[in-house]
Amino acid sequence: MGRIVVISTGGTIASRWQGAGFAADAHGREVMATAAVPEGVSVEIVDLFSVNSPRLTTHHQLTLLHTVHEVLADPGVDGIVVTHGTDTLEESAFLVDLHHDDPRPVVFTGAQLPLDAADGDGPGNLHDALLTAATTRGLGVLVAFDGKVHPARGTVKTQTLAADAFADPSGDRIGNIGFGRVSVLRQPQRPVALALPAVPGAAPRVDMVMHHADADPLLLNAAVDAGAQGIVLVATGAGNATPEIVEAVASATSRGVLVALTTRVQAGPVTEIYTHGGAVDLVAAGAVPTGTLRAGQARIAVLSALLATTDPRERDRVLRHALGEAVTADDRPAAELVQA
Ligand code: ASP
């Protein structure tokens, strides 16, 4: 069925007991040895790193993105599986998806139970990811987990411990895995891929600030003072905060900081309904609403816009494009910022 390259990055699927807790330390070969390989599939392993995903940096994520592109430069490769920690899997998968312009799949997977667990979920997830990589086409970057296939865009970790750890709370999954096959239920909506960014010496700083009752603009202003070029405001409800935070957002955007507006609510879109500090005013102050994308993926969209160009107007366009906004001809990012 195909030649699949497994890129191993660590996570619980590669974690063992360290005396005081679990941590990633296994190589890709050891992770791969736990799983059954679907018939007709041949596997090659790229050992990229072995870290738990809360420790990943932008540099790690861009290294992974470039590795995916290098692997796919070989026309003999049929697909890629990335083994990854589940904590920030949604961020890395979305980054790769934003820049993925190839019918061959890149399938992320991981585990909730460690490498040596007798009843672990890693081996089954890895088998399913290999099957998905070998038998699907044209679906973009995917997450295969607990017998389900999700599109990278919109999918988040929804369970801290349970095996059924991923879903898009605002959307549907793409497929199911069972009885040796993948059933594809729908085609995901994906904007034209962004051009591959260079790996900068120092990645732009993109901070997240969460709103809550009694919050003031101190942390948002501190992010700007710390040199943030992008900020994700994780607002309440459909995207609301306070008049003082609106003022801080206006001041940040007037200084060229890209501000994205998402919500701490699990599902549903950010929507301009309320004034007096609500989304109506935050958007008027220059914040870009992120639809149904949640904080981690909103941050990746901001990061990709910052990496694409230094031009503030183009950054705004690239961000809206990455968020999947329907853009008019006038609002399209410059041709060199998207893949042909
Ligand atoms: N709990 C995480 C995992 O599933 C730890 C990590 O993200 O590395 O892998």
Tokens of 123: 């081996």
Ligand 1 site, residue 92, Cβ cutoff 6 A: no
Residues 130 and 228 in one domain: no
> Under a CB-based contact definition with an 8 Å cutoff, are residues 35 and 51 in contact?
no
Ligand 1 site, residue 12, Cβ cutoff 6 A: yes
Mutational pocket test of ligand 1: of 48, 86, 112, the residue with most ligand atoms within 8 Å of the beta carbon? 86
Residue 253 lies in a domain: yes
Q: Return the SS3 of 288.
A: strand
Q: How far is the CA of 261 from the centre of ligand 1 (A)?
A: 27
Q: How far is the CA of 125 from the centre of ligand 1 (A)?
A: 14
Q: Which residues are bridge partners to 167 per DSSP? A: 156
Q: How far is the CA of 30 from the centre of ligand 1 (A)?
A: 17
| Closest-lying ligand 1 atom to the alpha carbon of residue 52 | 8
Residues 9 and 88 in one domain: yes
Catalytic entry in 9, 12, 253, 309: 12
- Confidence at residue 334, expressed as pLDDT on a 0 to 100 scale: 84
Residues 179 and 31 in one domain: yes
Q: Indicate which residue's Cα is closest to atom 6 of ligand 1.
A: 85
Write down the H helix ranges in 211-278: 218-225, 243-254
Active site residue 253: no
Residues 210 and 156 in one domain: no
Cα gap 316→320, rounded to integer Å: 6
Place of tokens 């993109």: 206
Ligand 1 site, residue 86, Cβ cutoff 6 A: yes
- Confidence at residue 327, expressed as pLDDT on a 0 to 100 scale: 64
- Confidence at residue 339, expressed as pLDDT on a 0 to 100 scale: 82
Q: Indicate which residue's Cα is closest to atom 7 of ligand 1.
A: 85
Residues 172 and 232 in one domain: no
Catalytic entry in 58, 83, 86, 292: 86
The phi, psi pair for 176, rounded to 5°, reads -125, 150
Q: What is the CATH number of the domain that holds 55?
A: 3.40.50.1170
Residue 191 lies in a domain: no
Q: How far is the CA of 293 from the centre of ligand 1 (A)?
A: 21
pLDDT in tens, the chain (340 residues): 799 999 999 999 999 999 999 999 999 999 999 999 999 999 999 999 999 999 999 999 999 999 999 999 999 999 999 999 999 999 999 999 999 999 999 999 999 999 999 999 999 999 999 999 999 999 999 999 999 999 999 999 999 999 999 999 999 999 999 999 999 999 999 999 999 999 999 999 999 999 999 999 999 999 999 999 999 999 999 999 999 999 999 999 999 999 999 999 999 999 999 999 999 999 999 999 999 999 999 999 999 999 999 999 999 999 999 999 866 666 788 888 898 6
Q: How far is the CA of 37 from the centre of ligand 1 (A)?
A: 23
Residue 9 lies in a domain: yes
Place of tokens 């958007």: 283
| Exposure b/e, 46-57, CB count within 10 A at least 16 = b | bbbebbbbeebe
C-alpha torsion angle, residues 102, 103, 104, 105 (rounded to 10): 100
- Confidence at residue 330, expressed as pLDDT on a 0 to 100 scale: 67
Residues 96 and 215 in one domain: no
Q: How far is the CA of 84 from the centre of ligand 1 (A)?
A: 7
Residue 78 lies in a domain: yes
Residue 162 lies in a domain: yes
- Confidence at residue 335, expressed as pLDDT on a 0 to 100 scale: 84
Boundary of a domain, candidates 184, 215, 235: 184
Place of tokens 């990633």: 24
Active site residue 135: no
Residues 107 and 236 in one domain: no
Residues 236 and 316 in one domain: yes
Ligand 1 site, residue 122, Cβ cutoff 6 A: no
Place of tokens 């360290």: 18
Residue 198 lies in a domain: no
Per the structure, the complete domain to which residue 85 belongs is given by: 2-184
| Closest-lying ligand 1 atom to the alpha carbon of residue 84 | 9
- Confidence at residue 37, expressed as pLDDT on a 0 to 100 scale: 98
Cα gap 130→229, rounded to integer Å: 38
Please count the structural domains in the chain: 2
Q: What is the CATH number of the domain that holds 214?
A: 3.40.50.40
Residues 165 and 219 in one domain: no
Q: Are strands 106-109 and 79-83 parallel, antiparallel or unpaired?
A: parallel
Q: Are strands 2-10 and 258-263 parallel, antiparallel or unpaired?
A: unpaired
